[in-house]
Amino acid sequence: MFTGIITDIGTVRAVREAGDTRFEIATGYDLGTVDLGASIACNGCCLTVIEKGPDWFAIQASAETLSKTTLGDWDTGTRINLERALKIGDELGGHIVSGHVDGLGEIVSITPEGGSMRFRFRVPHELARFIAPKGSVAIDGTSLTVNEVEGNVFGVNIIPHTQAVTTWGTMVVGQRVNIEIDMLARYVARLTEYKPT
């Protein structure tokens, strides 16, 4: 489990096809405190550390993961948001995030708003019903509050601090992003649509 609070920006340093796709990611994390088999959220995808060095770790992604997330867009030099898994007693600064991406969104506009930037996203209709004003959503692993929803388009504000310590400061219109809907929204929707026989 994660909170959607990004703690490092990693950089893809190598990509290798070997049945599945292996990515090596450079990081500022102290890899001495990261065990093999540990989970790290990479742009919101919960991935398993399969190898590590002093300043990098490797993960492996199946064809299914590549097709359902932005990992298929990654190449050498791609910068990604990183978050280590929660430990008991950690501060829950964002919201409960599983690291299981529900689908892809697309940035449709970026406009200045005060000191922040207003980002608007288009998501598939099947995800839009789970996104509500003032609700939570994880986008590329970042816990964000939804401002407004219009059909399958919604907006969030990204403050300057978040732009500086995540990949949000370099994102552009048309870019694809990983979307994880709020876990509570998923279960509420399931409860309201379930009809016992």
pLDDT tens-digit series, residues 32-71: 999 999 999 999 999 999 999 999 999 999 999 999 999 9
Q: Is 73 helix (H, G, I), strand (E, B) or coil?
A: helix
pLDDT band at 93 (very low <50, low <70, confident <90, very high): confident
Q: How confident is the model at residue 181 (pLDDT cuts 50, 70, 90)?
A: very high
136 within some domain: yes
Same domain, 32 and 69: yes
Could you tell me if 126 and 75 lie in one domain? Answer: no
Range of the domain at 56: 8-84
Cα–chain center distance at 184: 17
Co-location of 13 and 65 in the same domain: yes
pLDDT band at 186 (very low <50, low <70, confident <90, very high): confident
Q: Whose CA is closest to 46, among 166, 178, 177, 137?
A: 178
Residue 82: Cβ within 10 Å count? 22
Tell me which DSSP letter residue 85 carries: P
End-to-end alpha carbon distance in the chain: 34
When pLDDT is cut at 50, 70 and 90, the band that residue 20 belongs to is very high
* CATH, residue 62: 2.40.30.20
Residues 122 and 62 in one domain: no
Residue 164: inside a domain: yes
Only one residue has tokens 């001495």, namely: 32
Evaluate whether residue 98 is within a structural domain. no
Beta-carbon count within 10 A of 22 CB: 16
Taking the C-alpha atoms of residue 54 and residue 163, their distance in angstroms, rounded to an integer, is 27
Q: In Å, how far are 49, 112, 156, 160, 163 from 115, measured between CA atoms?
A: 37, 7, 13, 7, 11
pLDDT for the residue numbered 174: 98
Q: Tell me the pTM.
A: 0.92
Q: In terms of domains, do 120 and 187 share one?
A: yes
- Could you tell me if 128 and 55 lie in one domain? no
pLDDT at site 90: 77
> Which position has the token pair 């219009």?
150
Whether 179 and 110 share a structural domain: yes
Cα(61)–Cα(80) distance, integer angstroms: 15
On whether the CB atoms of residues 96 and 86 are closer than 8 A, the answer is: no
How confident is the prediction for the chain on average, in pLDDT? 93
Report whether pLDDT(194) > 80: no
Which residue, 18, 50, 84, sits at the end of a domain?
84
148 in Cβ contact with 113 (< 8 Å): no
What is the spatial distance between Cα 116 and Cα 84, in angstroms, rounded to a whole number? 26
Residues 107 and 164 in one domain: yes
For the chain, the domain total comes to 2
